[in-house]
Amino acid sequence: MTEDTLLEPTEATTPTTDTLKLGFLGIGWIGRNRMEAIAHAGVGEVTSVVDPVPQNVEEAHKTVPNAKVGNTIEDLLTDEIDGVVIATPSAFHADQSIQALESGKAVFCQKPLGRFAEETRRVVEAARKADTLLGVDLSYRSTVAMRKVYDLVKSGELGEIYGVELVFHNAYGPDKPWFYDPKLSGGGCVIDLGVHLVDLALWTLDFPAVESVTSSLFSKGKRLTSSADTVEDYATASIQLATGPHVQLTCSWNLPAGQEAIISATFYGTNGGAAFKNVNGSFYDFVAERFWGTKTESLVSPPDAWGGRAGVEWAQRVANGEKFNEDAEQFVKVAEVLDSIYGR
């Protein structure tokens, strides 16, 4: 299974209206994947696309042949659409999201929503002012495996959670130059990969206050003294939560990990542990496991067509008439932790 496996329509994703119209800003691989998932799930009509690369538009038209093609975000926003899905480089996310929200459109944006907390906060405030639904593609929340771990922690079965270990090692690195310019990306592997896991930990633990954060960032084996001019390709962070649990994060690009990826979020409690983790180095296949001492129980196994699920769920909420949700403040809380990791 790959991430571009499409989410099949189910009862849960059957739209309550056939009038939802969506525009897509950025239809490279990730944007096109989200577009295909939403289109095939039947939760809305993709009526407009904008991308500067003709090949991307050509590929998109294979799925949505009648979609209007624009050149700018202004072209997109002048169309009669209900929402915008944004999958452009990170430097544009905040301003484009705000522009769309101020025009009254719901927004679903790739992570990170902002390069730092101040940008993220401005987007959330724009959504609140417009009373419009704002979503971010924190896609691991939507995997069946992570939802099982989430439910297990929430049930209290694990007892009092005291430790969380987060790992995301990618044996590859991004293939776009802007990822390596902190002014454009906001940072390296932490804001690219770590953002997902910090979100998973805080989300599962009900977004408690953060007491302290310490970190070490590295680039090509050398410790960084400043993240202003160079992005990190290896990082560790220690996050102490005010409610008691300690969270340890480690993430990397281009690590000699012995496999393509190592991804996990493990929660340890007084009555046992549970983990969300990838299988055999896969970027797409995940399991949920329950731990007792030396015993492991498998709770969830692949396959799971989760790749576009977060976008489909957002589109369904827009179709159902949902407006601004205070849960958007969670995006700011995650961004604040990342700012602390970067020492800014």
* CATH topology assigned to domain 21-138+311-317: Rossmann fold (3.40.50)
* CATH topology assigned to domain 144-305: Dihydrodipicolinate Reductase; domain 2 (3.30.360)
Give residue limits of the domains in the chain.
Answer: 21-138+311-317, 144-305
pLDDT tens track, the chain, 344 positions: 333 333 333 333 333 445 799 999 999 999 999 999 999 999 999 999 999 999 999 999 999 999 999 999 999 998 899 999 999 999 999 999 999 999 999 999 999 999 999 999 999 999 999 999 999 999 999 999 999 999 999 999 999 999 999 999 999 999 999 999 999 999 999 999 999 999 999 999 999 999 999 999 999 999 998 878 899 999 999 999 999 999 999 999 999 999 999 999 999 999 999 999 999 999 999 999 999 999 999 999 999 999 999 999 999 999 999 999 999 999 999 999 999 999 99
The amino acid at residue 30 is I
Distance, in Å, from the CA atom of 170 to the CA atom of 218, rounded to the nearest integer, reads: 15
- Give the count of alpha carbons within 13 A of 146, CB side only: 23
Read off the pTM. Answer: 0.93
Buried-exposed string 210-220: b where 16+ CB fall within 10 A, e elsewhere: beebebebbbe
Those residues with Cβ within 8 angstroms of residue 191's Cβ, 6 or more apart along the chain or in another chain: 90, 112, 115, 185, 338
Which of helix, strand or coil describes residue 84? Answer: strand
The predicted structure's pLDDT at residue 225: 87
Distance, in Å, from the CA atom of 89 to the CA atom of 72, rounded to the nearest integer, reads: 14
